[in-house]
Chains A and B, each alone.
Chain A
Amino acid sequence: MSIVTVQLGQCGNQVGHEVFSALCRDIRGTHGLCSKKENESYQDSCKERFFCEEESAVPVARAVLVDMEPKVISQTLSMAARSGHWKYNSHSHFCQKQGSGNNWANGFSVHGPRHKEAIMNLVQREAEKCDRLGGFFTIMSMAGGTGSGLGAFVTQCLRDAFPTSFLLNHVIWPYGTGEVIVQNYNSVLTLSHLYHSADALLVHENDVIHKICAQLMNIKQISFRDVNQVIAHQLGSVLQPTHTAGGGPGYSRNPLGDLLEALVPHPEFRMLGLRNIPQMPENSLAYSSFSWPGLIKHLRQMLIANAQMEEGIDWQVRPPQPGSCMAPTNKPLHFNTSIANLVILRGKDVHGVDLGSFQDPSLYTSWLNPQDAFTAWKTPRAFNKYEKSAALVSNSQFLLKPLDSIVGKAWNMFASKAYLHQYTKFGIQEEEFLDCFTTLEQVISSYTNL
């Protein structure tokens, strides 16, 4: 099944480009430490999912690029073409001239309706090129104007036009110390709208990735390109083909559907966090070796203690004792309760790995059967030169604190009515803000009470 990616705004297009580069580099690379047959099966599956063979010599990404000003798209298209290994379809992009001015209302209420037809036509064309459409993957930031506002509108349109298709939104959360002054408003408006249209939100936070770049990747002068490449690596570790448990010998044919089925049992809980280990500079790879038990142990503790990366994990945090009466307020502090978890293992000797520790019922909220709460995907084919790598996609309290912080700051600003005239100018009134706050407070409350 094929996935159509929609890249929205500057961030969406910059990240999207790195994602396709990473996917392409991975399949072009080494044998992946597995059998030739396995490798070929993996390559074919990846190509079917993300690329179209068309008449051209290089694979063409199944993507639609959208932005309200031209500079980023033109850069993205040319960078891809220059790589010589893949490219975008030269017609699958839509841009305007003025940008959205970091104004969610401008993106949502003005650009959205105005350009709906043109954008949806492009999406329709890409969808038709797929033998079997496996769903949509959108990439956007929530701090700006286009990715956030127009992104929310396009997501709604996708939902309306393809009611039975899977829709996974990848959302980038901005630095806490500010990239855009009205980022908290834009974030609140985006998240609440996406919650109603998307199947799930897969989140990356700039602050977290920045730390990974600084501490794990040892990059001195971190650029957005570095950040985006780490994000692309993490996304690749989820999106590349795997064998699902009990899914038969071939690679999974319905990645988005499987992911959503595994992780979103209840519509109130749609926020997914992502962790991937190990993460290190490429030139250190040759000198490092890992064991599966070690990786699994670290990953589990990262889940329980809500650690953002492999360094600095708090090993003191323990799951609550089984059998004791567990009201949410009695649970140990800092313990991260999960609704559902998905672990993806790639690399050598993957089939014998014991994942029992992830099936421990004390990790999960009580109202779901622990059997259903945990899923594992595996493939012996190594990813992106990592001999062994483990990814965790988690529907848990990972994002509770950052979400609460964003809503708190936005509310603070809202109470003073600062910047509201910029939004009402384009048709978003105070009542709309209140509705969005209510939606998100509800989400926060639900996750808190796990």
Chain B
Amino acid sequence: MTQSVVVQVGQCGNQVGCRFWDLALREHAAVNKKGIYDEALSSFFRNIDTRSGDNGPDIYKGKICSLKARALLIDMEEGVVNEILQGPLRDVFDSKQLITDVSGSGNNWAVGHKIYGCQYRESIVEKLRKTAEHCDCLQCFFVIHSMGGGTGSGLGTFVLNLLEEEFPEVYRFVTSVYPSGEDDVITSPYNSVLAMKELNEHADCVLPVENESLFEIVNKIHQMINSGKLGSTVKPNSLVTSSAGSAKTLQEKPFDAMNNIVANLLLNLTSSARFEGSLNMDLNEISMNLVPFPRLHYLVSSLTPLYTLADVNVPSRRLDQMFSDAFSRDHQLIQADPKHSLYLACALLVRGNVQVSDLRRNIERLKPSLHFVSWNQEGWKTGLCSVPPVGHSHSLLALANNTCVKPTFIELKDRFMKLYKKKAHLHHYLQIDGMDQSCFSEAISSLSDLIEEYNELDATKGGPRIDPSRLKIAV
């Protein structure tokens, strides 16, 4: 069994991260009735003997004493982290795993990456080493951040770089919140594009998330609850947006519902690695199967179901509906249209009481309406995990490597160029030590190359299928 470490950077990263830890505890509490510290728990938590204070030794077996998250919390402002440390999760975090400053990054990627990066490099490396030492077999780093700001974007990608340098064998999965078009941070296109270059070069997999999509999902759920359809009450803790049953009780903050969705994404992603099933799907398998070419590692994710109705048992039709939903835009975490673009690969991670025949039936059913690249016509990776998420009898996470991310990147590039052509706000960046024009030109070039790679693949779509001729053997 392997361990994973979460590195949450910046305001967004820490808020999402906080929801993740909360829901993770809730999930394990639901599964682990006996209070024994088992391998599933150890993937994200350490078990500390606190009788000798907070620096107690790790307990590897036996009863749960005090769980500590395998996490590193980084923010250049104190507000968010302080709030976490005063909230109900304070005991889950080791006070030595924090790196904070006071003044923030001013929504400036260069401040986050160059200034704070340099300043805190040693401290970050040291704390990462410490966290890694507590792991028996560290498999993966999960970085959570946003792209549009300064800390998450700049310092977050600096940390990503560090992770590759210091721990080259460990996978790097990055959950990045992309800014929307109407983002109120004017320089978010600069920050995002500068960050993209780092993601292109140093991440193994990126799960892009857009606030617009999260917002739509939250709205959809509200409508569902308030529509008062006769006889259909929703199980509260089944909402993909809900914190019900977790440590946080009062004071739901506005972004909590949206952040819970992302937290659930991470929980589902790692479920097959933590819990047993008839067809396991580990994190290294996700990277292996979904990344056909090193730079094309951006995965569109969709989660179903969004809620469970309280009073139903599950006929097979409902199960099939779950699969259909996973391929509908309402359930995606970014605004994109995979059905009309080209699939390079697709992974389905199913949790709960679903069997291989259900999986096969639905793949057969959905395949004809999806376009797969010519060299990967049967490009499905499947996983079956027996343990369902809290409040559900089954769930499905679909991860698609699809050219539909291209429009998102093109838009980002356009917004960047609009500012860059006029050199708007550029001086804020260039005056930082270590920054010059080439940083910008290289970043935009990296993004353009990426878009071009997707273009080339798109060009093959719908064309006549010419299979390369096979090797001929002399008889």
Chain A contacts to B: CB under 8 angstroms: 10, 14, 69-72, 75, 97-103, 145, 175-182, 210, 213-214, 219-225, 227, 407-409, 411-413, 415-419, 421-422, 437-438, 441-442, 445, 449
Contact = CB atoms under 8 A, between A and B. Distances in A.
A222 B357 contact: yes
A411 B466 CA distance: 12
5 contacts: A98-B2, A99-B284, A178-B379, A418-B344, A418-B376
A99 B282 contact: yes
Contacts of B2: 69, 97-98
A308 to B, nearest CB: 16
Given A178-B363, A411-B470, A223 B380 contact: no
B471 interface: yes
B32 interface: no
B367 A177 contact: yes
Interface centre among B1, B280, B316, B357 (most CB of A within 10 A): B357
Given A70-B1, A418-B375, A179 B279 contact: yes
Given A71-B1, A71-B276, A413-B375, A182 B355 contact: no
Interface string B332-374: 0000000000001101000000011110100110010000001
Contacts of A227: 356
Interface stretch (B64-72, B240-248, B285-293, B411-419): B285-293
Contacts of B288: 101-103, 145, 182, 419, 422
Given A102-B289, A181-B290, A72 B280 contact: yes
B50 to A, nearest CB: 27
A421 B293 contact: yes
Nearest to B136: A97
B293 A70 contact: no
A177 B287 contact: no
A274 to B, nearest CB: 21
A177 B467 contact: no
B458 interface: no
A211 to B, nearest CB: 11
B377 interface: yes
A210 B357 contact: yes
A224 B356 contact: yes
Contact of A181 (B276, B289, B294, B473): B289
Nearest to A181: B289
Interface bin, chain B: 35 or more
Contacts of A97: 1-2, 136-137
Contacts of B39: 70-71
Contacts of B471: 411, 437-438, 441
B475 interface: yes
Nearest to A417: B293
B388 to A, nearest CB: 15
Interface in B59-101: none
Given A70-B1, A101-B284, A441-B470, A180 B381 contact: yes
Given A72-B280, A412-B375, A438-B473, A101 B287 contact: yes
B375 A223 contact: no
B302 interface: no
B273 to A, nearest CB: 8
B254 interface: no
B364 A177 contact: yes
Most buried by B among A72, A99, A225: A99
Contacts of B364: 177
B382 A411 contact: no
B323 to A, nearest CB: 14
Contacts of A418: 292-293, 344, 375-376
A209 to B, nearest CB: 11
Contact of A409 (B345, B377, B380): B377
B360 A412 contact: no
A69 B139 CA distance: 12
B387 to A, nearest CB: 12
Contacts of A417: 293
Contacts of A442: 473
B474 to A, nearest CB: 9
A416 B356 contact: no
Given A69-B1, A181-B290, A449-B475, A10 B280 contact: yes
Nearest to A96: B137
A442 B290 CA distance: 31
Interface in B1-44: 1-2, 39
A102 to B, nearest CB: 5
Interface in B249-291: 276, 278-280, 282, 284-285, 287-291
Given A179-B380, A409-B378, A221 B357 contact: yes
Nearest to A440: B471
A72 B471 CA distance: 39
Nearest to B372: A178
Interface of B: 1-2, 39, 136-137, 139, 276, 278-280, 282, 284-285, 287-294, 316, 344-345, 347, 355-358, 360, 363-364, 367, 374-382, 384, 467-468, 470-473, 475
Nearest to A176: B378
Contacts of B282: 69, 98-99, 101
Given A177-B367, A411-B468, A14 B278 contact: yes
Contacts of A14: 278
A412 B356 CA distance: 27
Given A223-B278, A408-B467, A177 B137 contact: no
B290 to A, nearest CB: 7
Contact of A214 (B347, B357, B379, B381): B357
Given A182-B288, A419-B291, 20 more contacts: A69-B1, A72-B280, A99-B282, A101-B284, A101-B288, A145-B288, A178-B363, A180-B289, A181-B347, A181-B380, A221-B357, A221-B358, A222-B356, A223-B357, A224-B355, A413-B375, A418-B292, A418-B293, A418-B376, A445-B475
Contacts of A100: 284
Nearest to B137: A97
A223 B358 CA distance: 9
B375 A415 contact: yes
Given A177-B360, A177-B378, A225 B292 contact: no
Contacts of A225: 278
Nearest to B378: A178
A44 B27 CA distance: 49
Contacts of A75: 276
B136 A222 contact: no
Contact of B376 (A99, A101, A181): A181
Nearest to B3: A97
A181 B288 CA distance: 9
B381 A178 contact: yes
B473 A98 contact: no
A223 B355 contact: yes
A61 B290 CA distance: 38
A122 to B, nearest CB: 21
A415 B381 CA distance: 21
Contacts of A178: 363, 378-382
A367 B363 CA distance: 44
Contacts of B279: 10, 179, 224
Nearest to A14: B278
Contacts of A419: 288, 291-292
A222 B355 contact: yes
**Most chain B beta-carbon neighbours within 10 Å: one of A10, A145, A412:** A412
B232 to A, nearest CB: 25
A311 to B, nearest CB: 17
A227 B468 CA distance: 35
A339 to B, nearest CB: 17
Given A70-B39, A224-B279, A177 B355 contact: no
B278 A177 contact: no
B202 to A, nearest CB: 15
Nearest to B40: A71
A397 B285 CA distance: 33
